[in-house]
Structure 1
Amino acid sequence: MAKGCRPCCSLPHGWLSLAVAIVATIGLCMSLNTLSNCRFVTVSDDAFANMPGMSGMMDINRGFGLTTYEKYENSCQPYNEGWDRFPEDLGAMHIAARAFAIVAVVFGVIAMIISWCICCISCDIRFIKGLGITFGCIMVFQGLAFLFFGADLCKRHECAFANAAGLNIAAIILWAVASFLSFLVRPFDESATDSVLPVTSDVDQKNVTEKITEIINADGTKVITKEVLHADGSKIVETTKIGKDDLEKEGDMEAIDV
């Protein structure tokens, strides 16, 4: 196993990387609900009593979302669904709010997938900080969904804060938390390793037999063979060849010692 490797999904960057992934997943769920919910704002239904193609639902607040509206009570319909299309133009600000919310969801899906991958794969800490910046951008895009309140619909009628707007606030907070936690994730410790190093115990040393054989050849060279026999039957053989000149030097040194 290569140095610094860890088993798959063993959180090489620590538990904070898992927290980032969980928060990003919940944030994405909030973003998706904000985009699909038809009650981002509510408007009194009296304002649409004489509008063609609208059902008469007096004394209630009709919901309007980023991509759908409440055609009938508790029934969400897309704005562009043929003859069910909402007959009033919501304006450019509504289009912008919807576009920013869609961008937040698209980038949120990508960032969420990457955050889960980081729980399994070690990477450069700069990449994780870049992911934190991405979460921050998603938070900004999500916040721009509140441009809805500047739409022509809300200029002509009084728009009230509704469910999806609350979900949008929750999504903004979660993306902000994911961004903050990403900058706290620690880098992968490359000195760590899960490789198993061979360990020789005292018992193994007692059951090792060494045999050294020296052979002097006719040309004056000497071959030293060392055999190490373990108790389990395995054997290691080491062979060393010494030249004639080296043997003469050894002889001179022995003579001096005497």
Structure 2
Amino acid sequence: MVHCSPCRALPHGWYSVFVAILATVAWLSSWVQETCNFAIVTGPIVAELDPTFTSQAIPFLEFGLSAFREPAVDQFGNYTVSLRGSCTEYPDGQLIDSIWNTSRFFAFLALVLGGGSSLFVWCSTCFVFSRATWRWTGYCLVLASLCQATVFLWFMTQLCSWNACTLSDGSKADLLAVVLLMLSACLMFIKYPTPAIRELIPREDDEESEQKEHHSKQINRKDGIMMMMTSTTTATRPYGHPASQDLQLEEEEPDVVIEDSNNSIQQRSGESTTEMV
């Protein structure tokens, strides 16, 4: 899963940037096949599709998954692959079969998976990815690579069975996309870049709160010392005899002494009277 932490630069280091660039190049390469230069076709189909074939004797046509295009003529009168010519849609008929439609479907699926995976890898340059999320992104890249390779089923269509079909710029770029997508996935499986620990810089508000907390701790410490001192002084007195009782006892001691002296005087006077009798 992707941790919901604030975005920060390169939490996984430059390794994630390299994988993201590689996956993006692969995805851009897969877009080349969307034009009408996926394959070069020679054979009877050229005369059927090109109305100018009888007058100009065009040797080949550029075929794509959805349209075709006539070749360009250079200054020497030679036919070359056209990069800027307009594409013409295929006529309605039996030209496109089930294998052709399957190739189209997987081409679209490869674009979706490759683009989504590339974007997700770019997110790892800003957010922290867990090990499981990193690995599942690699699985998506593998699936995109397999879908991209399935596009080559187009060369097994009925069109190529009675015409000569060869690779063109679009199919070569498609092959490059397959390799780069698989390489990106392998790099994600080989290594998981451990995210760097972020050092938190204290803000002014945090410093003020820390100072207040430290000051309150000092005050609590002083209060605790005072309470300990008072508890030790009270612990030296007998249990249940507060200081007021001690003072009261000290005040009562002289009366006891006076009473004792009076009793002794009375006893002496009694003894003297008995002797006289």
TM-score, reference length from structure 2:
0.65
Give the aligned partner of residue 186 of structure 1.
193
57-66 or 91-100, larger mean C-alpha shift: 57-66
Pair 53,78 (structure 1): closer, same or farther in 2 beyond 3 Å = closer
Give the aligned partner of residue 196 of structure 1.
201
Work out which of the residue numbers 205, 228, 234 in structure 2 matches 1:246: 228
Give the aligned partner of residue 111 of structure 2.
105
Give the aligned partner of residue 240 of structure 2.
none
Instruction: Find the structure with the greater CA-based Rg.
Output: 2
Work out which of the residue numbers 144, 147, 152 in structure 2 matches 1:146: 152
Note the alpha carbon deviations across 1:70-104, whole angstroms, 9 max, x for none: 15653342535xxxx36551311111111101110
Please tell me whether the aligned partners of residues 100 and 157 of structure 2 are also in contact (alpha carbons under 8 angstroms). Answer: yes
1:116 aligns with 2:122: yes
Note the alpha carbon deviations across 1:185-218, whole angstroms, 9 max, x for none: 32324xx2221269xxxxxxxxxxxxxxxxxxxx
Higher strand share: 1
Work out which of the residue numbers 84, 87, 90 in structure 2 matches 1:77: 87
1:55 aligns with 2:61: no
Residues in 2 aligned to 1:52 and 1:30: alpha-carbon distance in whole angstroms: 28
| 1:194 aligned partner, one-letter code | E
Higher helix share: 2
| 1:13 aligned partner, one-letter code | H
Pair 159,53 (structure 1): closer, same or farther in 2 beyond 3 Å = closer
Residues in 1 aligned to 2:22 and 2:155: alpha-carbon distance in whole angstroms: 27
Note the alpha carbon deviations across 1:139-164, whole angstroms, 9 max, x for none: 00000000011011101212122221
Residues in 2 aligned to 1:43 and 1:24: alpha-carbon distance in whole angstroms: 31
Pair 243,60 (structure 1): closer, same or farther in 2 beyond 3 Å = same
Residues in 1 aligned to 2:107 and 2:64: alpha-carbon distance in whole angstroms: 11
Give the aligned partner of residue 44 of structure 1.
42
Work out which of the residue numbers 165, 168, 175 in structure 2 matches 1:169: 175
Please tell me whether the aligned partners of residues 43 and 162 of structure 2 are also in contact (alpha carbons under 8 angstroms). Answer: no
| RMSD between aligned residues | 3.2
Please tell me whether the aligned partners of residues 31 and 111 of structure 2 are also in contact (alpha carbons under 8 angstroms). Answer: yes
| 1:140 aligned partner, one-letter code | L
Residues in 2 aligned to 1:129 and 1:119: alpha-carbon distance in whole angstroms: 15
Residues in 1 aligned to 2:9 and 2:153: alpha-carbon distance in whole angstroms: 42
Residues in 1 aligned to 2:49 and 2:137: alpha-carbon distance in whole angstroms: 48
Residues in 1 aligned to 2:112 and 2:39: alpha-carbon distance in whole angstroms: 23
User: For structure 2, which runs of at least 5 residues remain unmatched after alignment?
Assistant: 73-81, 204-210, 237-277
- The runs of 4+ residues in structure 1 deviating greater than 6 Å are 4-7
Pair 253,119 (structure 1): closer, same or farther in 2 beyond 3 Å = same
